[in-house]
Amino acid sequence: MEKKKSVLFAASEGMPFVKSGGLADVIGSLPQELTKRFDLRVVLPLYADVIERWIDKLEKVATFPVNQGQKQTVASVYRYVLNGITYYFIEHQGYFERENLYGYPDDGERFAFFDLAIVDMFEHLNYFPDIIHSNDWQTGMIPLLCKKRHGSDVRYQRIRHVYTIHNILFQGNFPPEMLESCLGLPMDLFNDGTLRQGRDINFMKAAILFSDKITTVSNNYAHEILTPEYGEGLEKILQLRSWDLWGIVNGIDINMWDPKKDKKIPKRYSAEDLKGKRECKRALQRSMGLRVSSDTMLVAMVSRLTSQKGVYLLLDHIYELMGLDIQFVVLGTGDEHAENGLRSLEYRFPHRAVYYRGYNEELSHRIYAGADAFMMPSVFEPCGISQLISMRYGTLPIVRETGGLKDTVDPYNAYTGEGTGFSFKNATGEDILHVTRLAAEVYYNNKDAWNRLIQNAMAKDVSWEGSANLYFRLYDSIL
C-alpha cells in the first residue's frame, strides 16, 4: 500500500488540550476526519494548562537552538499520539507557560517564535510534511519562513501550504522592526510593501500571499471578506488571490456533541424521545437559580462577550426582550462593559436572568441541552460552532444572517413549517427583538411547529463528512 501523505496542522489552540473558542473545536475534530486519507499531525504551543493535565503522557523528542534574529533561544518538542494523530507541542517556558493564551504585549514575539520553532523542527525530527495547514494569524509566518529561511533546501521547498482564516479581525499586526529582531527576516519585506499593512507588518497578509491555497470557514464568509465591509483592510489582497480562496464550512465532532451519549448532561435524549431534554431543562433551571418551569421559554447564550457576538445590540433592547416572558441564561467572559451589562440584568430580573461569568466546558454542555433557544446575534461570524452544537441538541438557534450563520441555519418558514432556527437580517437591537418575539410566539402558541423545528434541527447534518471531502479535493489539487 502506498504510504499516506502527511498533513501537519499548525494552530494556537486545539481540543482536547486547550481551548478558548471555535478554533480549538476545529483543530480537535477536523484532523480526525482527514486520517482516512492522510497521515495527520498537529502542532500546538506547550501552554501551562497543557503541562498541568498532560505532561506525564508527553515524550520529549527534540531540543534545538532557534535563531530569532537578534537573539537565540532553545525550543523543545514533545510528542503524544492520540487516536492515530501525532501531536507535537513546542516548549518555551517564557513564552507559553502563562495564565492566558493570548493578550500579552509580546504576543507577536511569542508566536513568531512558535512559527520559527515549527519550521526548524522538521530537520531535527527528520519529518517533512507534504502539506502544512496553518490557521489564523498566530501561524501566519510559516509559509514565508519555509520559503525564505530554508530557501535552498528542497525538502522545505517541496512543502505545500494551506492557510485557513478563522477570523479576519485578528491579523497579527506588529511593528516592522520585528522582522529583523524576532523573525530573522530582512526589512525589505516591509520596505517593498510585501508584508506592510499600514505602518505594521501583518502575519495574516504574509500567509495570504505565500500559501498555495487559502480557505475560510464558510462559503458566505469567503464572499464577505472580499468586500470592504468584512475584509478588515485585507479585501484587496484577498481579491488578488480569490481564485485560490475556498469557503469550506465547519462541522463539529458529532461523537463528543451527542445528546444520546453525552455524560456531561443530567439525562440523555434523542430526537425520538425528548423526555430527557425536558429533564435537562429543569435541572439547568434548578442549578442556575432560575424558577423551575417547563413551560417558560429558556433562551441561552454561550459566548465570548465581544462586539463580534452582537452582545451590545442585545443589551440595547434587553428590557423589551425580557418583557417577552422568557428566561435568559448567559455563560461567557469578555469585555468588561458587556459583563457589567449582564450583571445588572441579573440584578433586575432575579430568577429569570442569570449570568455565569467564566469559561466552563461542562456547564456549556448542560446549557446546550437544557435551553429551548440559543441566541447568536453576531455582527459578523466566520462560521460559528455554537449554533451547530445547539441544533444537534434540539435547541433552536436565533441568529443573524451573516457569515456561516447564514449558511448553516435554515430560517423558520411559517407557511411550510420548514427551518432549523430563526434568523434576521440587520445588525440592530430591533431586529433581535422582532425575531425573538416571533420565536416566542411559535414556542407559546404553536407547539407543533416548534416541535417540528426541533426535529429538523436535530436531523441536520452538522458533521465534518461533507467538508472533509472538500478538504481532500483541496489537498489533491496542490499535491
**Interface with ligand ADP by CB under 6 A: which residues?**
21-23, 25, 302-304, 331-333, 359-361, 364, 384-386
Could you say which of ligand ADP, ligand GLC, none residue 98 binds, taking C-beta under 5 to 8 angstroms by partner kind? none
What are the distances in angstroms from CA 133 to CA 47, 100, 140, 366, 440? 21, 24, 10, 33, 43
> Contact at 8 Å (CB) between 425 and 400?
yes
- What number of chain residues touch ligand GLC (CB under 6 A)? 13
Question: According to the binding rule CB under 6 A, does residue 314 interact with ligand GLC?
Answer: no
Question: According to the binding rule CB under 6 A, does residue 332 interact with ligand GLC?
Answer: no
Tally Cβ neighbours within 10 Å of residue 246: 17
Could you say which of ligand ADP, ligand GLC, none residue 26 binds, taking C-beta under 5 to 8 angstroms by partner kind? ligand GLC
Min dist. Cβ of residue 217 to ligand GLC (A): 4
Could you say which of ligand ADP, ligand GLC, none residue 360 binds, taking C-beta under 5 to 8 angstroms by partner kind? ligand ADP
| Helix (H), strand (E) counts: the chain | 22, 18
Torsion sign, CA atoms 107, 108, 111, 117: negative
Could you say which of ligand ADP, ligand GLC, none residue 68 binds, taking C-beta under 5 to 8 angstroms by partner kind? none
Min dist. Cβ of residue 387 to ligand GLC (A): 9
Of 378-417, which residues contact ligand GLC (CB under 6 A)? 381-385
Could you say which of ligand GLC, ligand ADP, none residue 317 binds, taking C-beta under 5 to 8 angstroms by partner kind? none
Q: Output 75 or 385, the one with its CB closest to ligand ADP.
A: 385
By the 10 Å C-beta count (0-12 exposed, 13-18 middle, 19+ buried), 48 is classed as middle
Strands (E), 295-379: 297-305, 326-334, 353-357, 373-376
Residue type, 273: D
Residue type, 367: I
Min dist. Cβ of residue 157 to ligand GLC (A): 29
x/- contact string, 206-245, with ligand GLC (CB under 6 A)? -----------x----------------------------
Q: Output 6 or 308, the one with its CB closest to ligand ADP.
A: 308
By the 10 Å C-beta count (0-12 exposed, 13-18 middle, 19+ buried), 274 is classed as middle
Min dist. Cβ of residue 282 to ligand ADP (A): 21
Q: Output 349 or 359, the one with its CB closest to ligand ADP.
A: 359
For binding to ligand GLC (CB under 6 A), which residues are involved? Answer: 21-23, 26, 166-167, 217, 250, 381-385
